Structure 1
Amino acid sequence: MGAQVSDSIERAISRLGELVDAAAIAPHWQEVCRGIQNVLPDGRVLMQGYDASAPYATPLAGVGWEDIDFDVYFDHYAALNPWIPAWADVPILRSTLSDEVLPRRILERTEFYNDWIKPMGGAESASGIKIVQDRSRMATLCVHYDQRRAEKSHDALAPILQALAPRMRRALDCNRAVLRNHRSMLGVSLMRNLIDPALVLDGDCRILDLNAAAQDLNESDRSLRLAAGDRLVLGDAEAQAKLALAVAAVCSRRPGSIGRHDVSFRQGPERFSLSVLPVTQNLREYAFAGAAGLFIPGTIALVIVRRELVDASVELDALRQRFDLSLQEARIALALRDGGTVAEIALRLGMAYETARVHLKSAFAKTDTHRQRELLALVLDTTGPRG
């Protein structure tokens, strides 16, 4: 009898392994769930994704559940799911009985159990496994069944889930690479209707979506470009650091961080202004959409880029008015942004070296500075960096 059971398990692992490998290329995890249900026909299979920034776990695939059960789940019980924090402490890739994850004496005191799980019937116990866990995300696959058959059901499922787990993790890694290149985060209509260059970023400044105007800007201007790992890189290091902080803030959902953040920098004759705004995803739309839900954060950043030509005469006027500089003194001060020695600056401006020195000393006196770097700091405070 034992040999027959073992042969049956091996056949199930082989058959399901083929489905998992197929899901790595085309993420049809629903087929994997159906295959697992064949092992336990009365079971209810559920694959879920958890994101630290999302308000609840999102079902990625599943079979055996009624649609009405998940309508109620999203409307109320998703936010009460006591298994979310419990799964975080479970070792990865180890088949586990639900009572080991969350003791029944604790579960049965929760509203989630008494008002959602228990009335459904036949789903009070489960065998599950944590497939993936990284800094902010995890994915689990569980098979729920009647608690009266918990021991027998777990004995049938545990070795199968244990054997499949490494293949499922590799398949999800493949899904991540495939889905990263499938950008459809905010819907075609919104991105198309934005005239200015617009990008959607996750908390690590990875580009999840961009419109045609942003693509054109990336191809024509090194001030804003896509780098390795689909990350957005600006042509100004200080602005890059500010953008990273702004995007992390709006994606974190921390109190006080949700709001508009603006980042600006100067690049040659142009000034770039980036508005970073939080966009909260409707995760319900991704329920049972397969692995996509695992890699879609609850809050993302919409970055709108605006650029304008900077009129040098405006900057000269600003310096002259603030420090009472002559036109030549302001030209010398403004030229400090491009670097170089006094002789090099004089050559760029078409004036004699001694004339440039005289105007620079006069600018020092009027601005109460003594070195070029001190004067440059005032210039940047008034006009911004050239980049």
Structure 2
Amino acid sequence: MVDGIPFGASSWGDVVTAIGAALPGSFVAIQNANFRTSQLNSFHSCNIAQEFLDSYRDHFAALNPWEGYWFKVPAGKVAVSEEVAPASLFRNTEFYNDWLIPQNNLAAAAGLKMAAEDGETIRLLMHYPLKQSPAYDIAAVQLMERLRGSLNRAMFL
């Protein structure tokens, strides 16, 4: 499916939908953001309510405490939140209380930094309930590591 994106046979939306189906109760997104301008350039997602998508684009993307971690790591890096920056570290933030928690407590996450250049990054992100973290962290990392090469090719073809 990923390899069909450059040729119009599939889309980024198809990819996030397929990944979301593999991890029930999660939401999945491919995000292109610019750290220097706090701008969200594109956001392909599934299993996220429109109101949360809109509020993320309009307000919460700039408040996302995980952005500091993702800014520092190289392209190709796969990580899980509970290992590098657990959501419990920012329980007293607007992002956590007003955006993460109202979405059925999707406080655990995994991500793949697909590309980075001039402050701009493209990432594959998955959020899921903290109680699913022991199983979903492993599955998400394996999935992202397996998809990494295909995603990279699809971006640059």
CA distances 1:222-257 after superposition (whole Å, capped 9, x unpaired): xxxxxxxxxxxxxxxxxxxxxxxxxxxxxxxxxxxx
DSSP-derived class of the 1:120 partner: coil
- The question of whether the paired residues in 1 share the 8 Å contact of 2:40 and 2:57 is answered with no
1:74 aligns with 2:57: yes
Structure 1 residue 158: Cα displacement: 1.2
Q: For residue 96 of structure 1, report the CA deviation from its aligned partner.
A: 1.0
Q: Does 1:123 align with 2:106?
A: yes
Question: Is the Cα–Cα contact under 8 Å of residues 20 and 32 in structure 1 kept in the other structure?
Answer: yes
- 1:102 corresponds to: 85
Once residues 140 and 149 of structure 1 are traced to their aligned partners in structure 2, the CA distance between those partners, rounded to angstroms, is: 21
TM-aligned CA deviation for residue 100 of structure 1:
3.1
What's 2:20 paired with?
37
2:142 alignment counterpart: 159
Taking the aligned partners of 2:38 and 2:140, their CA distance within structure 1 comes to 30
Relative distance call for 1:107 and 1:99 in structure 2 (3 A) is farther
Alpha-carbon separation, structure 2, partners of 1:148 and 1:136: 33
1:57 aligned to 2:40? yes
Deviation at 1:59, TM superposition (A): 4.2
In the superposition, relative to structure 1, how do residues 77 and 94 fare at CA in structure 2: closer, same or farther (>3 Å)? closer
| Whole-angstrom distance in 2 between the partners of 1:21 and 1:146 | 30
1:23 corresponding residue in structure 2: 5
Normalized against structure 1, the TM-score is what? 0.38
CA change 1:74–1:52 in 2 (3 A) is closer
**Structure ranking higher in helix proportion:** 1
Deviates more, 1:115-124 or 1:19-28: 19-28
Q: Secondary structure of 1:50's partner?
A: strand
Q: Distance in 1 between matches of 2:143 and 2:65?
A: 26
Secondary structure of 1:70 counterpart: helix
Post-superposition Cα deviations, 1:118-140, rounded to whole Å, max 9, x if no partner, equal: 11114111111111112332111
Report how many aligned residue pairs link the two structures. Answer: 156
Kindly report the root-mean-square deviation, in angstroms, between the aligned alpha carbons of the 2 structures. 1.9
User: TM-score when scaled to structure 2?
Assistant: 0.88
User: In structure 2, how many angstroms separate the alpha carbons of the residues matched to 1:134 and 1:55?
Assistant: 14
1:90 — aligned with what?
Answer: 73
- Whole-angstrom CA distance in 1 between matches of 2:107 and 2:134: 13
- Write the distance in 2 (CA, Å) between the matches of 1:166 and 1:122: 31
Q: Kindly, what percent of the aligned residue pairs are identical? A: 28
Mapped contact 1:47–1:61 kept (Cα < 8 A): yes
Which residue of 1 is the match for residue 117 of structure 2?
134
* In 2, Cα distance between equivalents of 1:55 and 1:94: 21
Shift in CA distance, 48/102, structure 1 to aligned 2, threshold 3 Å: same
- Runs of 4 or more, structure 1, over 4 Å off, are none
Q: Which has the higher contact order (CA 8 A, sep 6+)?
A: 2
SS of the counterpart of 2:106?
Answer: coil
Answer whether contact 2:87 2:96 (CA < 8 A) is retained. Answer: no
The residue number in structure 2 matching 1:236 is: none
User: Aligned residue for 1:253?
Assistant: none
Between the aligned partners of 2:92 and 2:83, the Cα distance in structure 1 is 16
On the 8 A contact 2:31/2:122 being kept in 1, the answer is: yes
Q: Name structure 1 gaps, 5 residues minimum.
A: 1-18, 175-387
Provide, for residues 299-330 of structure 1, a one-character-per-residue CA deviation record: whole Å limited to 9, x for no partner.
Answer: xxxxxxxxxxxxxxxxxxxxxxxxxxxxxxxx
In 1: Cα distance, 2:60 partner to 2:84 partner: 19
Change in Cα spacing, 1:173 to 1:101, as seen in structure 2 (3 Å) is farther
What residue ranges of structure 2 are gaps of 5+ in the alignment?
none
Give me the whole-angstrom Cα distance separating, in 1, the residues matched to 2:126 and 2:145. 13
- The verdict on how the C-alpha distance between 1:164 and 1:73 changes in structure 2, with shifts beyond 3 A counting, is same
